Structure formats: structure tokens, C-alpha cells
Structure 1
Amino acid sequence: MERELATLDKGAQCCSWNYCGQRFAVGYADGSVAIHNSDSSISRSSKFMVHADGIMNIIWIPPEFGDAIACICVDGTLSLWEEVGDDAHSVTWKQCKVFERSSPRVLEVQFGLPTRYLKMVAAYSNGHVKIFELLDSLELNKWQLQAEFQNVIDSVSAFGKPICTSASVAWSPRRGEKQQSSFVLGFNSDLPQFNSCKIWKFEDSYQRWLPVAELALPADTDDRVHAVAWAPNIGRPFEVIAVASCKGIAIWHVWLNSDTDGRLSTEKFVLLSGHDSEIWQLEWDVSGMTLASTGGDGMVRLWQSNLNGVWQEQAALDCSGGQP
């Protein structure tokens, strides 16, 4: 039986649940953000102004660092906010950090799993990628730029300057102090060399980020990437990454044992089709066995692989007001 969970104010543009699914944040076209608590009934606990422009995306910071969010505005401004207060009746949200405003807009940010330092990857409208590290876990304003590069494998001198309209990032969900940080990134741009998903890994021996795999066949390198999702691994000998483009959802298998040149072996396992328009978002469940996708057709589709490795659509939910 369907029931209404919450009624959002007019102008809502994006929303995001926190890591434990007990709170969610809503970004509005007027530049405000509302925080809702999910208890017996979803209630709004706070609403505050972030920027003069609308909120394009909200990303929760890992819970080890308190209740905090990153906000990306329409003009590309990136800011961090945290909840402060002595008790539930005196809490408020304060701005911790505004990253430099420049011509290339911030399109996407994602936080890695905390190890020694919390890392944040930011993708920009000029195809650049910046990696920031949090120097003090108790001070969300103390970030340091660790690296900057572009999402290409070959030298960028051979290419022009891309115009990127969106970017998709997913960190590896593997935990462990000895686990090297890695993430997958793809762009939606006018230059194919920047679009295809690359896995970037921090190599201690070089003290730099290196591209260790490209999730694209020769016929796919010009595909614009709309969404990526890295599946949790519960014992598979390979990683599973989903990549959405105009052709559908590609399921990739990635083996973590690198070749002599440091590259990872990859296989495009299957291409899933079903959405009638651009795919907006991909999300795995905690087991890494079920993939949810949503797009401009107003449908949420659930995909699963059976014991024989055959992928099938398990459910389709119509969120546009029609019947599933």
C-alpha cells in the first residue's frame, strides 16, 4: 500500500538520503536547503540559505565526520555545511568551507571511504579533476589540494578544451588501511577522450593518481557517460561497475590483479536496455547484487543477476504518475 512520506515545498530540485537512511536533504531553486528527519513521520528539522543560485546536488559527508553535507549550486559553487548545537532544540547549520569560485564549474563531488585522510574528488566543467584531503577530521574547513589532472589516458596536448555538462563519480567501496584509494569517473562532454569511464588509482610508489583501466570498447569511446555506480563486493574475485550511456547500462567486470604495466583487466559483461530516455542515476544495494536505475522516462527499474550470471529486469516502477 502506497503512502505519502513527505510533502516538499515548491521548487525542489534535488534530494539526498544520508548514509543510514534516517535523514534526507532537499535542495531548492531559490538556493535553500531543507533537512528532514525520518522517524515515525518525516518532519523538517531545518531550512537554511546556501547560495543565491539554485541547488543542483547535495552529497552527505561520511557519518564519521558528523552530520554534514556538500552543496553544488547551479553556478558551480561548492560549499560544505555542518550541523551544530547542544541538543535537538538548538541545532543549526553553519557554513564550513566555500571552495574557490572560478570559471570552470564544479559538476560533481564524491567522498571516499575514510582511511588515514578523508578524500573528496571534484569534477569540473573543463574536464579537470581535483582531489582534496581533509587534514583535520574535526575541522571541515581544513582541506588541502592533493592532485589535479584530466580524465584522459594520453597526453592532453593532443586534445582541445572540452565543454562538460555533467560528470559521474563512484569511489571503490572496498575498505581497509592497506587498500589503495580508487574511483571511476566519466564525463558528458563534447570531446570523446574525456567521456569514457576511467578507473583512477593512487599509486604509493609514484605518489600520484594513475589511470589503471578504461571502461569502454573501441566502439564506445565516444559515448557520453550519464551515471556510474561501483558495486559492493561480498566475495567475488572481480569488481562490478555499472556505466550508463545513451546505449543503455553496461555491466563491467574488473579484476584487481594488475598487469605488468599496472593496468587492470576488464570485461564488458552485458548491456542492459529498458529506459526510453537518458538515465539519470544508478544505485547498488548493500549486497552488490541488485542495481536500481532511474531516468527521464519517469521509471525506476531494478536489475538482478541470477546464479548463472544472466542479468534480468526484476521490477519496473512508474514514478511519473502512470501505472507500472
Structure 2
Amino acid sequence: MVTVQSTVDTGHEDMIHDAQMDFYGTRLATCSSDRIVKIFDVKDGTQTLAAELRSHEGPVWQVAWAHPRFGNILASCSYDRRVIIWQESSGQWSRIYEYTNHDSSVNSVAWAPHELGLILVCGSSDGAISVLTYAHANNSWEAEKINNAHTIGCNSVSWSQASNQKRFVSGGCDSLVKIWRQGEDGHWNEEAKLESHSDWVRDTAWAPSLGPSKQVIASCSQDRRVIIWTCKEGGAWIPKVLHTFEDVVWHVSWSVCGNILAVSGGDNKVSLWKETLNEEWVCISDVQKGAGAQG
């Protein structure tokens, strides 16, 4: 059963689109259509506003914390076509990099596993995906743009959690899930195109590594379905429909261990799913958003 531990009054003046805890669970970043990114210190069940980051000129869709080994770094992406990377130094937050090479809304940002370095992938409604890499040697950011990654637009990006390979998954308005891999020449190439959804793919989530012999990805779509993709021993990706919901499915998210999947959608519910020993998926909890008891 899922219960609400605490609620946060963020003070945002419009719809909140994303909320992310940092690595240690002591800070919360939120973003909203009010164009503001807020950072809260979280301690003993209370939240204290620590910073308001104001530079975006449109709704801010997503925020992502970098690993603390790089310091306190946060990325945000917006309808204003920009990606901003923020860093805290001596208690003050400032912009350390701004990426402006997309022609439409930037919908999703995700940091690579820290073992690969400080690398951010960004998906945009212009159909392109950009990979931003921090180069320590000259203290600068290098960008590679994958044009026409998804026709009509890219809605979601998520990294493989295997630290020995640079791969990420994306979902788009073309109903496709795609896997991208960095080649030996350093450029990004399409490794696989996964076709099972019949409408826009809204979110993708690569499960924490279950070992080299098994990789798992979850995707969700406006077709009301969540699909679990499994690749064993480097073979083909096999799709399995987790469930067909009553409304659009907006988000999928894995637990730290990779054995429980959280699903949220237009029906205003969050459900938790777990795989049984015979590889069937069962719903273990179903809760109405904002409620304190099982729905």
C-alpha cells in the first residue's frame, strides 16, 4: 500500500510539471508553467525554499540533478527551446551553461551515469536529440545534435544504467521507442527501433541494470498502454504489454532496485507493478494522487 508521507506547498503560481529529489534526498527541485525552477531543502518532513531560478521564458517541463561527485548541478528544459545548466557555489545558484540550438520546445533532459562523465541528453519537439558533454580539458561544453531522431518530436529520454556503455532510450510522437549508442568514432547512432505503440510515446525509463545478461525498458503512450521491453544476452528487444489503462499514461519510473515500476496517467492514479517469478506483471498498489490511502 502506498501512503503520502508529506505534501509540499511549493508556492508555484501555475501547474507543476516535474519534481525531483537529489541524490541524497535532502533537496527537492520543482518546475512549473510559471517559468520558475524552485529548490527546497528537505529535512525532518519539512521543506524550506532555498532558491528560485528565473531565466526561462516559457513553461519549464523537466529538471534533472547531476551526480553529487560533480557538485550541486541541476539541468532544466523549457518550452522556450532552451536547456539551462545551473550550479550552486557558496550557497548561490548561477547559470553555467545555456544550450539554445533547438528549434522548438525541449521536453526532456537526463544525466548519464556518473561513471561516463558529465553528460546530458535532451529531447525536443523539433524531432532532434542533443547530447551535451562537459570537457574538463578546456572547461567547456560540447554538443552533438541528432537531427530527425523522431519525426514530429521527441518526448522522453532515459539512460542505460550500465556504466560500461553509452546508450540511452528515447520516445517520440512517431509512436516509436529508439535506442541510441555512441560508436567508436564518438558519434551517436540508432541501435534499435522498437515498434509496438500505436500513438505518441510519452515516457521511457531504462531500468537499473539487472546484470549484463538482461536489460529492461518501460515505455508508456497515449495509446493507454505500458510496454515492458526485455533484451536478454544481447538478443532482440521483446515487447510485453504490462497493462492497458483507462486513460493516457504520462509517466513511468523504476524503483532503485529496478524491480518495481510506478505508472501515472490521465486517470489521476499512481499504480505500482512488480514482476512475478514466472515473468508476469501484477499490480501491487493503486493510489489516487493526493490521497493518503490506497485507491
Distance 1:68 1:79 in 2: 10
Distance 1:100 1:44 in 2: 28
Distance 1:102 1:212 in 2: 23
- Aligned partner letter, 1:136: H
Aligned to 2:59: 54
Q: Select which of 196, 215, 235 maps to 1:239.
A: 215
Cα 1:93–1:43 shift into 2, 3 Å = same
Count matched residues.
288
CA contact (8 A) 1:5 1:42 kept: no
Cα 1:2–1:148 shift into 2, 3 Å = closer
Cα 1:34–1:313 shift into 2, 3 Å = same
Which secondary structure does the structure 1 equivalent of 2:76 belong to?
strand
> What does residue range 223-302 of structure 1 map to in structure 2 within 5 Å?
223-235=199-211, 237-245=213-221, 246-255=223-232, 257=234, 264-268=235-239, 270-273=240-243, 275-302=245-272
CA contact (8 A) 1:253 1:267 kept: yes
User: 1:137: how far off?
Assistant: 8.6
> What does residue range 8-27 of structure 1 map to in structure 2 within 5 Å?
8-9=10-11, 10-14=13-17, 15-27=19-31
Aligned to 2:165: 180
Cα 1:115–1:248 shift into 2, 3 Å = same
Aligned to 1:310: 280
RMSD over aligned CA atoms reads 2.4
Aligned to 2:177: 197
- Aligned partner letter, 1:186: G
Aligned to 2:9: 7
Cα 1:289–1:126 shift into 2, 3 Å = same
CA contact (8 A) 1:275 1:299 kept: no
User: 1:5: how far off?
Assistant: 3.6
CA contact (8 A) 2:62 2:109 kept: no
User: 1:181: how far off?
Assistant: 0.3
User: 1:200: how far off?
Assistant: 0.9
Query: Which structure would you say has the larger RCO, counting Cα contacts within 8 Å and 6 or more residues apart?
Result: 2
Query: Identical aligned pairs, as a percentage?
Result: 24
- Aligned partner letter, 2:230: H
Q: Select which of 142, 145, 148 maps to 1:144.
A: 142
Which secondary structure does the structure 2 equivalent of 1:226 belong to?
strand
TM normalised by structure 2 equals 0.88
CA contact (8 A) 2:79 2:104 kept: no
CA contact (8 A) 1:12 1:26 kept: no
Return 5+ residue gaps in structure 1 as ranges: 86-90, 153-161, 258-263
Return 5+ residue gaps in structure 2 as ranges: none
- Aligned partner letter, 1:171: W
- Aligned partner letter, 2:86: W
Aligned to 1:260: none
Aligned to 1:98: 98
Distance 2:225 2:41 in 1: 35
Computing the radius of gyration over CA atoms, which structure comes out larger, 1 or 2? 1
Which secondary structure does the structure 1 equivalent of 2:201 belong to?
coil
User: 1:117: how far off?
Assistant: 3.4
Distance 2:290 2:4 in 1: 14
Aligned to 1:64: 69
CA contact (8 A) 2:285 2:294 kept: no
Cα 1:146–1:72 shift into 2, 3 Å = closer
User: 1:314: how far off?
Assistant: 0.7
Distance 2:28 2:137 in 1: 23
